[in-house]
Amino acid sequence: MPVTPVGEVTGAPEMLGGRVKTLHPNIHGGILANLGEPSHVADLEERGIAPFQLVVVNLYPFRETVADESVTHAEAIEQIDIGGPAMVRASAKNHAWVGIVTDPSRYEEVAAAVEAGGLDDDLRLALAKEAFFHTASYDAAVVRWLERNEFPPVRHAIALERRASLRYGENPHQPAAAYADVEADPWWRRMTQLQGKEMSFNNYLDTEAAWRLVHEFTDTPTVAIIKHANACGVAQADSIADAFTSAWDCDPLSAFGGIVALNRPLDGETAERITGAGFVEVVIAPSVTAEAADAFTKKKNLRLIEGVCPDLADPDFRRIDGGFVLQTRDAISAEEKWDVVSARQPTDAEAADLRFAWGVAAHTKSNAIVICKDGAAIGVGAGDQSRVGASERAVARAGDRSAGGVAASDAFFPFRDGIDALAAVGVTAVIEPGGSVRDEEVIAAADEHGIALVFTGARHFRH
């Protein structure tokens, strides 16, 4: 195609090392002219400016530049486009007359429209919407980069784009959709759904909870079963199939209709156990064998997903009226120093179960008590208003299996009654943050019952 350099259109060579070249009346006059307004047409004719019908812009690669952590401040600043966004916004404003293309995926459609005689009103409007969002998200990326060294940032600009329309929200009367930050590549955009119905609003939330929980553990085959964002079964074993069986046995009643997440490939044996156990909504694993996929064909509505590891370090936003609260995402830090405060030390087996229980409790809604035994959660008390109530719920679910088990509490015991409730069913070791004004009373209760008690100095509330 014949190309006319910008300098020939403006009559002025670019200057300031390229910072100024399109910011000129011969460019912006041709873009912004309302051709239905006689005075605008007269201005163009008087100055010899030709109107533009189509503007195609690719902005400087700012995001790609700052993705390289070695880039200097000066190098990044030079990749902040000025003339490009100005042309994009001018064209989008004047979309009654000008088509603005910012997305290469639109090229074929726009080229076909040009060959057919021109862009119609609907296409120009659609392109204008995309263009304004494009410049808004570009500016958001610049703001986030400039604020990168301060957390929480003074300003945090987010550009969200709808990526999935959902049948409804938490309940059928609530319209809903799934949105992704244009700078993010979340697990749910990279997943491959092999079969089943479309993901629902609740499926997204529960699957993320299960996926994050199971990725708390990487060294051993682990399965998590989630219902209403809480674990109703988590287990580790030598095989992923045995891990599923132990996780399901924790609370089969609650697991019905739950979300199953695996941190190992899903094989045929595990798939047969899942299909034989009861109804589940979603199964997500790093990969699925052909044998496993075939086993699920009898469950047409079950959502079978191959997923990738979620970003475990991204900031945690929670919506409140008119805004958000923001925090770093909670994680079990290697800096947590365990302190055995009881007279009795935990055995090696108890210590292993305590570490597992501690990880599960950190992913359970507060107040949370998790009882574990032999690498499996056997009783989960979640979302209770009191810690003793959470203990009682965990004990009720574990039943006789509690004897010889260990327990984790996401926050300190404010009174000894929680320890007493666990001791009454044979729990032999407990892990909790410590820090209560009645810690001495709690330690005395543990010693009285012969319980090994560990303080971590770290709390893991989850609301």
Q: Which residues are catalytic?
A: 93, 228
Measure CA 41 to chain center: 51
Q: How far apart are CA 361 and CA 382, in angstroms?
A: 9
CA 199: distance to chain centroid?
Answer: 15
Of the candidates 142, 144, 9, which has an alpha carbon nearest to the alpha carbon of residue 77? Answer: 142
Sign of CA dihedral 83, 86, 88, 90: negative
Cβ-in-10-Å burial (0-12, 13-18, 19+) of 321 comes to exposed
| Residues 224 and 251 sit within 8 Å (Cβ to Cβ) | no
Distances (CA, A) of 302 to 22, 200, 295: 55, 12, 11
Do the beta carbons of residue 116 and residue 73 sit within 8 Å?
no
Gyration radius of the chain's alpha carbons: 29
Return the DSSP state at 52: P
Q: Is the dihedral of CA 443, 393, 280, 362 positive or negative?
A: negative
